[in-house]
Chains A and B, each alone.
Chain A
């Protein structure tokens, strides 16, 4: 018994029942959609008839022998053939064979010519996908002919020994079509969850537009937001342009507002308007406001995601607020105490009140000086203030001292790095 067999070798093999009556041909394998590293085949799919095709699923447990003819343990009367092609969740023939997969190690998209199955304890496991020329020739049924030919002319040819197999562990199936999408992403998700999002973003960078899009669509919403956050700015822009407006605006709503603003800045006004149409009115109003500021001013750099407290709140309220917002995208260490009209009364930080009496008013823990910038302040002033007071974020106020947003040090850092780069590039 071979340890490894190719899917193409068993495709079309005759299937016989326990009395050795031929009942049909193997036409597919149904894989178990569990989150094992190597999916196991849980049933073979056999078909009979040509014009009126009928199919049957036979659990692997009922297979007696995987030889030239596949022999079953059961009698043909026990097999129920159905004419409707209901398909299974994870069909090897439909989901893997001939489809495009991402080779995660080499970061490129390849087409699956054949599937390499591991055969142990009369179970079949999906071990590798074959993306090489040999796989292609094997599928065409010319393997022996071509092998003889190559052996005759050039016995040392690398063609004879080069198998281009990629471990299933390092492949990811691209989404195909709209309906297929949903099923396939379920199978793939667990595997992708093990790959850091930064690396996924890197992989995305090497794909072409549509490959990128179909890979992106296999991610679930949470993963989409995280991968998106790790992508390079121009990559984000390209993706936003490719996604349909609804998906794109949904994505923009779920990333930090300052990043969304930067992206919107670079889009044509027409597209921007379409995207706003699909957003919640609150988000779109905020983003519109942020867009109104110059990109390198405090107003352009700030995010509208920050935590505020009323002046009557206590330390316990503040701690509860932080606890409620641990998955909040913005800064949760700094809290801003505001009056009735959202005017800033003072800023405080976790460090200042964590050890205080929970009943103490939060307004009594604020920093002595009110440190802030105005919406039109330049980046240098912000950087200097952040450095001087060693703050990780600083509030942005308008003329009436109403809080407009917050700038965090990483936003400034990002801007400074790109400035330094431009200067550095000029020197060389």
Chain B
């Protein structure tokens, strides 16, 4: 028995697996939170309005996501500092301050969208938003304030499992797998305005500015150091594959049902309702369950991540284990995000569409700045050290990806201004 135990203990693959499991978390969680209420709405619309024809975009999106997220992970282990910290230390107060102001308001709009997602998903099963939203806000608050980072991480990792709901509903929808595969590997660009707007929307919703701040801070907080970098990179890559995979299944579900039947939808809630007659009650339930999990998951992480980033950049004390007097700015910001984010959803004439519109444009305007700052930082030997600085070949790939993302987000912002009704979702 003991011998068997020793064999297991000394086997290299098992040891690597154990090390990976210890490091696992930040990358997978960040990528999954990315499939939030706004994301699910965008994916549903993409499937319902354009069928399988946008599926090919998930391969380049995945690659771009991996490149960007890997840079954050590398900066975190090389410097032991968050992204906001690094920006402040190298680019001064002014850049940091205006960036943080923008991040704060964009994220606030995102939080509102998440609580709206909670409300919408539970209204499908007949629960009033006046009941669901306050409870959700309270849950979010208690989870983060009463939990330690490690416990919260475990809960979040567990929540990631629920995204399987979308994969299952994808299978229930009985798509034509042959068609799905064909459209995934053959890019087709259809230069109609609607199609381009949707394509840009898919990229924009998958790569968001807050993710970079959140990923880097959570790696730092977890205390992962350079020795574990290879396992961490695996965690990031796995996360960056899982998240677009879930999105892929959402598109497939909606394409196989609504697009085939010619039903047009305007939000994720519509999609869940439309699924009922087309794919049966289970698919519909799973779909709205997924929306609920995604919304509440993102609603727990966004306020926290924002408060952390802003405090980090401005040099205020931060941390959920601090007392209120020690870190008043942090707690005020955190509370403000949750109370306002949840509160506005309950207003009778809450202009949700305008808020979504604002958050999408805001994300789009902010992202190029964040990416350019990241590129400058990761090429700085003094900060990164010889081992972690970008190599020349990696720089070429990164620049291509970053320029592509920047062009796409600029196009998205322009489109959002021009055709606001087409891009705003939910």
Q: Which residues of A line the B interface, CB within 8 A?
A: 97-100, 108, 110-113, 131, 136, 139-141, 176-180, 208-210, 213-214, 241-242, 244-245, 269-270
Query: Are A99 and B89 in contact (CB-based, < 8 A)?
Result: yes
CA distance in complex: A245, B225 (Å): 11
Taking Cβ atoms with an 8 Å cutoff, the residues of B that contact A are: 9, 15, 78-81, 85, 88-89, 92-94, 97, 220, 223, 225-227, 314-315, 317, 319, 381-386
Contacting pair A242 B223 (CB below 8 A): yes
Choice from A108, A176, A180 contacting B317 with Cβ under 8 Å: A108
Choose from A99, A136, A176, A213 the contact partner of B93 (Cβ within 8 Å): A136
Q: Which of A110, A140, A177, A210 contacts B97 (CB 8 A)?
A: A140
CB proximity of A51 to chain B, nearest CB, Å? 16
B contact residues around A244 at 8 Å (CB): 225-227
A-B contact pairs, 25 of them (CB 8 A): A98-B89, A100-B315, A108-B317, A111-B314, A112-B315, A113-B315, A136-B315, A139-B92, A139-B94, A140-B93, A140-B94, A176-B79, A176-B89, A177-B384, A177-B385, A178-B384, A179-B381, A179-B385, A180-B382, A180-B383, A209-B223, A210-B220, A210-B223, A244-B226, A270-B15
Closest 6 CB pairs of A and B: A111-B315, A178-B385, A210-B80, A139-B93, A177-B383, A179-B382
Cα A244 to Cα B226 with chains together (Å): 8
Complex Cα distance, B387 from A177, in Å, reads 12
The answer to whether residues A213 and B80 also contact, given A98-B89, A111-B315, A113-B315 and a CB cut-off of 8 A, is yes
Nearest Cβ in chain A — how far from B208, in angstroms? 25
- Bound CA–CA A213/B79 (angstroms): 11
Number of A-B contacts (CB under 8 A): 65
Residues in A with CB closer than 8 Å to B15 are: 270
What residues of chain A lie closer than 8 Å to B97, measured between beta carbons? 136, 140
Whether A98 touches B92, Cβ cut-off 8 Å, given contacts A111-B315, A179-B385, A213-B80, is: yes
A241 to chain B: closest residue by CB? B223
CB-CB under 8 A from A110, the residues of chain B are 315
The answer to whether B79 touches A245, judged by C-beta atoms less than 8 angstroms apart, is no
Residues of A within 8 A of B85 (CB): 100
Chain B contacts for A97, CB-based, 8 A? 92
Distance to closest chain B CB from A188 (angstroms): 17
CA distance A208 to B226 in the complex (A): 18
Contact A131 B385 (CB under 8 A): no
B100 to chain A, nearest CB (A): 11
A214 and B93 CA atoms in complex are apart in Å by 22
Alpha-carbon separation in the docked complex, A110 to B311 (Å):
11
Q: Which residues of A contact B220 (CB under 8 A)?
A: 210
Instruction: Find chain B residues with CB under 8 A from A269 CB.
Output: 9
- The answer to whether B315 touches A131, judged by C-beta atoms less than 8 angstroms apart, is yes
Minimal beta-carbon separation of A145 from chain B (angstroms): 14
Is A136 touching B314 in the complex (CB atoms < 8 A)? yes
**Complex interface: chain B residues within 8 A of A176 (CB):** 79, 81, 89, 383
Nearest-Cβ distance from residue A241 to partner chain B, whole angstroms: 8
Q: Which residue of B lies closest to A210 (CB)?
A: B80
Closest CB in chain A relative to B74 CB, distance in Å = 13
Q: A139-B92, A179-B381 are in contact. List 9 more A-B contacts (CB 8 A).
A: A98-B92, A99-B89, A111-B88, A141-B94, A176-B383, A177-B383, A178-B384, A242-B225, A245-B227
A293, chain B: closest CB distance, angstroms: 21
Q: Which of A176, A208, A242, A245 has the most CB of B within 10 A?
A: A176
Are A98 and B227 touching (Cβ within 8 A)? Answer: no
- List, in ascending order, chain B residues with CB within 8 A of A141's CB: 94
In angstroms, how far is the closest chain A Cβ from the Cβ of B153?
Answer: 16
* Cα A225 to Cα B317 with chains together (Å): 30
- Alpha-carbon distance between A177 and B317 when the two chains are bound, in angstroms: 21
For A113, what are the chain B residues with a Cβ–Cβ distance below 8 Å?
93, 315
Minimum C-beta distance from B78 to chain A (A) = 8
**A177 closest partner in B (C-beta):** B383
Whether the Cβ atoms of B88 and A98 lie closer than 8 Å is yes
Residues of chain B lying within 8 A (CB to CB) of residue A180: 382-383
Cα of A367 to Cα of B382 in the assembled complex, Å: 61
| Whole-angstrom CA separation of A269 from B9 in the bound complex | 10
Least distance between A83 CB and chain B CB atoms (Å): 18
Which residue of B9, B89, B314 has the most chain A CB atoms within 10 A of its CB atom? B89
In the complex, A163 Cα to B233 Cα: how many Å? Answer: 44
Q: How distant is A28 from chain B, measured CB to nearest CB, in Å?
A: 12
Q: Chain B residues near A177: list those with CB within 8 A.
A: 79, 382-385
Q: List residues of chain A with CB within 8 A of the CB of B383.
A: 176-177, 180
List chain B residues, Cβ under 8 A from A241.
223
A108: chain B residues within 8 A (beta carbon):
317
Find out whether the CB atom of B81 lies under 8 angstroms from the CB atom of A210.
Answer: yes
Q: Are A214 and B80 in contact (CB under 8 A)?
A: yes
Q: B78 to chain A: which residues have CB within 8 Å? A: 178
A207–chain B nearest beta-carbon distance, Å: 12
B residues within 8 A CB of A245? 227
How far, in angstroms, from A46 to B88 measured CA to CA in the complex? 22
A244 to B88, alpha carbons, bound, how many Å?
A: 26
Interface residue from B9, B80, B93, B317 paired with A98 (Cβ < 8 Å)? B93
A214 to B92, CA, bound (A): 21
Q: How far is the CA of A99 from the CA of B15 in the complex (A)?
A: 39
Give the CA-CA distance A180 to B79 in the complex, in Å: 11
Q: Roughly how many angstroms separate A176 CA and B93 CA in the complex, as a whole number?
A: 17
Contacts of B319 in A (CB 8 A): 208
Chain B, residue nearest A269 (CB): B9
CB distance from B248 to the nearest CB of A (A): 37
Q: Tell me which residues across on chain B come within 8 A of A100, comparing CB atoms.
A: 85, 89, 315
* Distance, CA A213 to CA B77, complexed state (A): 13
CA–CA, A99 and B79, complex, Å: 13
- Residues of A with C-beta under 8 A to B9: 269
A96, B315: Cα distance in complex, Å = 13
Give the nearest-CB partner of B15 in chain A.
A270
Residue of A nearest to B381 (CB): A179
A8: nearest chain-B partner, CB-CB: B93
Contacts of A210 in B (CB 8 A): 80-81, 220, 223
* Measured CA separation A136–B315 after assembly (Å): 9
Distance of A213 Cα from B223 Cα, bound (Å): 11
User: How far apart sit A32 and B383, CA to CA, in the bound complex (Å)?
Assistant: 23
- CA of A180 to CA of B78, assembled, Å: 13
Q: In whole angstroms, what is the CA distance A213 to B226 when docked?
A: 13
Output the least CB separation between B211 and chain A (Å): 21
